[in-house]
């Protein structure tokens, strides 16, 4: 009878989950060995280990299928079986599984090891994305130098990946079908467990677009003031190489010469860190201390032993920041090529947020050791970083001096946050809208680059610095496209992190709606055990419940909504509207003159 069947199934599930933990540990170790020492030998070893593990997963899956779990009464048992009933890419036959692995490791290693020549010294051709090219984008104000770095990087990391990417799309779509999906787009969206996920993304964009358009218009004007109207037009898109970032995804590096009130003292965290001889280790210790101040869990001893926090000089590694769970309850690592600056200070908190989530759900069954959805995993560290980047906190830790806020410094602060958080949204939205179209074959290989730029022009209001053709493949010049990492998670994160921030700030007594002395922008939850405990309760759930239950536990809301973000930035939105009216700046953008289709 059902009672006996569920009991037997529970025994089976305990065994399967333990075996799965060992498999995931081996997979993570193989992946770590390869991405922290990129060699052909390590690539081969990783592929063989993953192949062996996929065969074991397939065998276990055949057994799991035998259980009639759909009518089990026990919610948690049914949810575990539901998750294990999805085999994933292991459903591919061996040869196609290996082929798919090779397309991804080929793109990823190409991206990680790509080099370009210096603009100022044509014979110096050993510039990597990190730290050299990133440094150019954060400091250069020479449009020609920025254009050179942009074009060379998109050639080296983008165009070269087109063949692999095309094969990857075909093989990955085959895996999607074997898992019961029409294509990878539907598979990726199914992870969010809501029937209208794509409509929700579009609705969120409608909610934040007016604010983005105001920010875009203001920044275009300030860039035109600086570079002239031959380089930046009055009514067109913004050239993508002038926004301080290779992908124009966050614009923090142009703050110094575009901020609203330039005569107000700028909080230059990078300079303060360098003046105080900060090291990467000090940045990690400060982040760990912030989490501990909330009564969250300290980084375990293996974290400090096994993490890679600076770029090695003796080998090639994947520098793009990442956080790792080895599924044994004690081995958790970060790998990143830290440089001492504000950007990496933020990234360190972002990655530590992933580790804290791993620590909080480490007693869950392995199958539930995941974010409530992937956006949650990306939002934890950023939510903490919203407190850390407040002037109040920066003064508290000695990274900012000066007096408390006045109207103008508050607008400057909101602008600083806005060119990070508001600017990012259309970029994130386009990256997976593009890939949804590719997986659904609405975008064919001969149209990849044209469709990519059409979306970026239409939604983000940026244009390439030079004409593009279908010999280019600019999407792969972004890490996540070359490494097969889904990106809607960041779009979700940049929305819900403001819902989380409002929740923890209220619990910390740092925010009250309508109270001018408790504005969201000034909130710092540092040392608030009440906030930390509520956050921990949400994180402990892992993916054991649908994400609305997790969100409700912390915020009382059950949907992702832009209201937190819009409340946070309301004073900036008002200021931008008034300022753009004062200068008569055109809101929005007309079609580009650049050719890319």
Ligand X SMILES: C=C(C[SeH])C(=O)N1CCC[C@H]1C(=O)O
Quick check: 325 binds Zn ion (CB under 5 A)?
no
Applying CB under 6 A, the site for ligand X has a residue count of 6
Minimum gap (Å) between residue 379 Cβ and Zn ion: 9
| Distance separating alpha carbons of residues 218 and 418, to the nearest angstrom | 12
Of 215, 321, 504, 554, the residue at the interface with ligand X (CB under 6 A) is 321
Nearer to ligand X, 72 or 165 (CB): 165
Nearer to ligand X, 352 or 411 (CB): 352
Q: State the virtual CA torsion across 425, 270, 302, 352 in degrees, nearest 10.
A: -30
Nearer to ligand X, 322 or 544 (CB): 322
Calculate Rg over the CA atoms of the chain: 24
Active site residues: 351, 480
Considering only CA atoms, which of 43, 20, 19, 41 is closest in space to residue 31? 43
Applying CB under 5 A, the site for Zn ion has a residue count of 1
- Kindly identify the residues of this chain, within the stretch 351-410, that bind Zn ion according to CB under 5 A: 378
Minimum gap (Å) between residue 593 Cβ and ligand X: 28
Quick check: 347 binds ligand X (CB under 6 A)?
yes
Minimum gap (Å) between residue 428 Cβ and Zn ion: 12
| Distance separating alpha carbons of residues 208 and 501, to the nearest angstrom | 18
| Distance separating alpha carbons of residues 590 and 228, to the nearest angstrom | 18
| Distance separating alpha carbons of residues 566 and 450, to the nearest angstrom | 32
Nearer to ligand X, 60 or 299 (CB): 299
Nearer to ligand X, 102 or 311 (CB): 311
Q: Which two tokens stand for residue 431?
A: 């990256």
Nearer to ligand X, 128 or 233 (CB): 128
| Distance separating alpha carbons of residues 445 and 451, to the nearest angstrom | 10
Using H for helix, E for strand and C for coil, what is the string for 130-145? HHHHHHHHHHCCCHHH
Quick check: 419 binds ligand X (CB under 6 A)?
no
Quick check: 463 binds Zn ion (CB under 5 A)?
no
Mask for 433-472, x = binds ligand X (CB under 6 A) = ----------------------------------------
State which residue has the least CB distance to ligand X.
Answer: 321
Quick check: 506 binds ligand X (CB under 6 A)?
no
Contacts of 245 (CB under 8 A, 6+ apart): 137, 251, 252, 253
Mask for 222-261, x = binds ligand X (CB under 6 A) = ---------------------------x------------
Quick check: 432 binds Zn ion (CB under 5 A)?
no
Of 490, 491, 526, 568, the residue at the interface with ligand X (CB under 6 A) is 490
The answer to whether the CB of 72 falls within 8 A of the CB of 6 is: yes
State which residue has the least CB distance to Zn ion.
Answer: 378
| Distance separating alpha carbons of residues 81 and 336, to the nearest angstrom | 35
Minimum gap (Å) between residue 493 Cβ and ligand X: 8
CA distances from 337 to 63, 88, 224, 264 (A): 43, 31, 34, 33
Minimum gap (Å) between residue 590 Cβ and ligand X: 28
Nearer to ligand X, 286 or 530 (CB): 286
Contact partner, 252, from Zn ion, ligand X, none, Cβ < 5-8 Å per class: none
Quick check: 423 binds ligand X (CB under 6 A)?
no
Considering only CA atoms, which of 247, 226, 221, 217 is closest in space to residue 141? 226
- Kindly identify the residues of this chain, within the stretch 229-248, that bind Zn ion according to CB under 5 A: none
**Residues 242, 245, 247, 249: is their CA dihedral positive or negative?**
negative
Minimum gap (Å) between residue 124 Cβ and ligand X: 26
Considering only CA atoms, which of 4, 20, 1, 2 is closest in space to residue 63? 20
Of 162, 350, 362, 421, the residue at the interface with ligand X (CB under 6 A) is 350
Contact partner, 347, from ligand X, Zn ion, none, Cβ < 5-8 Å per class: ligand X
Nearer to ligand X, 47 or 496 (CB): 496
Contact partner, 528, from Zn ion, ligand X, none, Cβ < 5-8 Å per class: none
Contact partner, 490, from ligand X, Zn ion, none, Cβ < 5-8 Å per class: ligand X
Quick check: 188 binds ligand X (CB under 6 A)?
no
| Distance separating alpha carbons of residues 288 and 384, to the nearest angstrom | 11
| Distance separating alpha carbons of residues 551 and 535, to the nearest angstrom | 10
In DSSP terms, which residues pair with 463 in a beta bridge?
239
Residue located via tokens 């769970």: 325
CA distances from 252 to 128, 245, 304, 431 (A): 21, 8, 30, 20
The answer to whether the CB of 69 falls within 8 A of the CB of 61 is: no
- Is beta strand 238-239 parallel, antiparallel or unpaired with respect to 462-463? parallel
Task: Decide: helix, strand or coil at residue 16.
Answer: helix
Interface with Zn ion (CB under 5 A): 378
* Contact positions vs ligand X (CB under 6 A): 249, 321-322, 347, 350, 490
């Amino acid at each position: 009878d059902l009672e006996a069947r569920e009991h037997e199934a529970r025994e089976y599930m305990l065994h399967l989950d333990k075996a799965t933990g060992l498999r995931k540990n081996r997979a993570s170790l193989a992946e770590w060995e390869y991405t922290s020492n990129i060699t052909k030998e390590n690539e081969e070893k990783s592929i063989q280990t993953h192949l062996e593990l996929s065969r074991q997963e397939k065998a276990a899956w055949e057994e799991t299928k035998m259980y009639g779990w759909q009518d089990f009464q026990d919610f948690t048992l049914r949810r575990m079986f539901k998750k294990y009933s999805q085999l994933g890419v292991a459903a591919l036959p061996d040869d196609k599984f290996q082929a798919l692995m090779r397309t991804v490791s080929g793109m990823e290693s190409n991206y990680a090891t790509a080099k370009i020549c210096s603009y100022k010294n044509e014979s110096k051709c050993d510039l990597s994305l990190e730290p050299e090219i990133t440094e150019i984008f954060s400091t250069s104000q020479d449009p020609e130098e920025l254009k050179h770095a942009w074009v060379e990087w998109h050639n080296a990391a983008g165009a070269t990946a087109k063949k692999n990417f095309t094969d990857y799309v075909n093989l990955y779509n085959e895996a999607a079908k074997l898992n019961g999906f029409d294509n990878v787009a539907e598979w990726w969206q199914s992870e969010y467990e809501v029937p209208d996920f794509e409509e929700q993304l579009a609705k969120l964009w409608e909610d934040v677009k007016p604010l983005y358009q105001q920010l875009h218009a203001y920044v275009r004007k300030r860039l035109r003031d600086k570079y002239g109207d031959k380089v930046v037009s009055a009514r067109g898109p913004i050239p993508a190489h002038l926004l301080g970032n290779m992908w124009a995804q966050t614009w923090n590096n142009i703050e110094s010469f575009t901020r609203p009130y330039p005569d107000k003292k700028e909080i230059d965290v990078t300079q303060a860190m360098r003046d105080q001889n900060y090291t990467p280790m000090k940045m990690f210790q400060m982040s760990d201390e912030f989490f501990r101040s909330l009564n969250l869990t300290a980084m375990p001893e293996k974290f400090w032993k096994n993490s890679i926090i600076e770029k090695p000089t003796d080998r090639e590694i994947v520098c793009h920041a990442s956080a790792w769970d080895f599924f044994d309850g004690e081995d958790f690592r970060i790998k990143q090529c830290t440089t001492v600056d504000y950007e990496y200070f933020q990234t360190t908190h972002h990655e530590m947020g992933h580790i804290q989530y791993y620590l909080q759900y480490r007693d869950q069954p392995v199958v539930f050791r995941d974010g409530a959805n992937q956006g949650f995993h990306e939002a934890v560290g950023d939510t903490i970083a919203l407190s850390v980047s407040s002037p109040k906190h920066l003064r508290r830790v000695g990274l900012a001096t000066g007096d408390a806020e006045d109207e103008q410094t508050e607008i400057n602060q909101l602008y600083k946050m806005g060119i990070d958080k508001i600017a990012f949204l259309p970029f994130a939205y386009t990256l997976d809208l593009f890939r949804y179209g590719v997986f659904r074959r609405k975008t064919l290989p001969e149209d990849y680059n044209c469709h990519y730029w059409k979306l970026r022009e239409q939604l983000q209001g940026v244009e390439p610095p030079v004409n593009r053709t279908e010999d280019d493949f600019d999407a792969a010049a972004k890490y996540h496209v070359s490494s097969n990492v889904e990106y809607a998670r960041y779009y979700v994160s940049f929305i819900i992190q403001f819902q989380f921030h409002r929740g923890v700030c209220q619990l910390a007594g740092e925010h009250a709606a309508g109270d001018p002395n408790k504005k969201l922008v000034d909130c710092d939850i540092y040392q608030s055990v009440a906030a930390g405990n509520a956050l921990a309760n949400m994180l402990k759930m892992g993916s054991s419940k649908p994400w609305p239950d997790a969100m409700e536990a912390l915020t009382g809301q059950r949907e992702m909504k832009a209201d937190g973000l819009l409340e946070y930035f309301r004073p900036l939105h008002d200021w931008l509207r008034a300022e753009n009216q004062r200068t008569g700046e055109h809101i929005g953008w007309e079609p580009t003159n650049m050719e890319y289709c």
